[in-house]
Amino acid sequence: MRFDIITVLPDLLTSPFAHSILQRAQKKGIAEIVVHNLRDYATNKQKSVDDYPYGGGSGMVMSIGPFAACIEALQAQRTYDEIIFMSPDGNTLNQTIANELSTKGNIMILCGHYKGIDQRIRDIYVTREISIGDYVLSGGELPAAVLVDAVTRLIPGVLNDETSALSDSFQGELLDAPIYTRPADWRGHKVPDILLSGHEAKIADWRHEEALKRTEKRRPDLLK
């Protein structure tokens, strides 16, 4: 699976993709993450990619020209299943969306900055808009990193234990059950006896019941 990320701040994305699961996914050749500097597609001497908004108002708007040039250059090399714009007014990212995107082959992600991007970019090129929450960040780079992480870990072969992702919170619309590790007794705080029983069916039932309880308490909206 390949991700092409267009940003005006490519260095901001260096660290998130250079460690842990995302690093291993790239080394295995399962995921390819390529970051493109939008300024490379600017045509003026200053390499500026923004301008004042028509109609007045505060802030600067990212221009259509550099984005169009970069998007079309990438489209000339391969077909993209999705061109995603990370936006606070997009659909909120959830596990269902991550699951769906993990089945794709090529995804392009556009990172906005400043006041926003020219609406025509969204109208002409973007196939999906995604938000990571009801708040505003300085740019789309961190949301893009979140999206890539959420999707990549679901690709077969990325996790050492492929069943791990299937038991994550939000899979099956439930939060995960409590989990424990050694020691079984820490300062009088004990691991539930059922988890030490070795009875797999009963343990599975307990985990499902606990997941339901936690979801009902913390996220009852999921049960609807």
Q: Give the C-alpha separation, 67 to 63, whole Å.
A: 7
Task: Look at the pTM and tell me if it is higher than 0.85.
Answer: yes
Residues of the chain with CATH 3.40.1280.10: 2-152
Report in angstroms the alpha-carbon separations of 103 from 23, 30, 59, 80, 117.
20, 12, 38, 13, 28
Residue with tokens 């309880």: 213
Dihedral over Cα of 112, 113, 116, 119: its sign:
negative
pLDDT value, residue 155: 96
pLDDT at 160: 79
Supply the pLDDT for residue 164: 56
* E-only strand ranges, 136-183: none
Instruction: Determine the pLDDT at residue 76.
Output: 98
To the nearest 10 degrees (0 to 180), the angle between helices 141-152 and 20-27 is: 60
The DSSP bridge pattern shows strands 50-51 and 61-62 to be antiparallel
Choices 3.40.920.10, 3.40.50.300, 3.30.465.10, 3.40.1280.10: CATH for 2-152: 3.40.1280.10
CATH superfamily of 167-223: tRNA(m1g37)methyltransferase, domain 2 (1.10.1270.20)
> How high is the pLDDT of residue 224?
81
Q: What is the pLDDT of residue 63?
A: 97
The residues of the chain that CATH labels 1.10.1270.20 are 167-223
pLDDT at 162 (0 to 100) = 58
The per-residue pLDDT string of the chain (224 residues; one tens digit each, 9 = 90 and over) reads 999 999 999 999 999 999 999 999 999 999 999 999 999 999 998 999 999 999 999 999 999 999 999 999 999 999 999 999 999 999 999 999 999 999 999 999 999 998 999 999 999 999 999 999 999 999 999 999 999 999 999 999 999 765 555 556 566 789 999 999 999 999 999 999 999 999 999 999 999 999 999 999 999 999 98
Q: Say which amino acid occupies 109.
A: I
Token pair for 86: 């990370």
